[in-house]
Amino acid sequence: MATYLELYGLKSNDTLRNKVEIACLVAAEVVRSESDQTANHANRLIWAKAVFEQPRIESERMLMAILAVNNTLTTGQITGASDAAIQTAVNNAVNVFAQG
């Protein structure tokens, strides 16, 4: 399990930050094209627009959620996470950031 200081250090890991940024952009595109009947759709669109306008800022916010939810993993497990695992983590947190 990573220590809090190790988790804090991961927020500046460029490889992890870049992966999360792309995962946020992918999630934003899914939101952009989802049905307007999707729960919380209006707020999700606001979040998606923010991602497209400022992907680094929004992805840094998302990275904090990903680090928190994966706090029981080692730094190696977190930094070695597959693209699919990171995408799943981002997708699972979208509604946390898409609040009205």
Per-residue pLDDT tens for 47-60? 999 999 999 999 99
Per-residue pLDDT tens for 20-49? 999 999 999 999 999 999 999 999 999 999
Do 19 and 86 touch, CB atoms closer than 8 A? yes
| CA proximity to 2, closest of 84, 96, 66, 83 | 66
- Rounded to two decimals, what is the model's pTM? 0.95
Q: Where are the domains of the chain?
A: 4-97
Residues 6 or more apart whose Cβ sits within 8 Å of residue 63: 11, 16, 17, 20
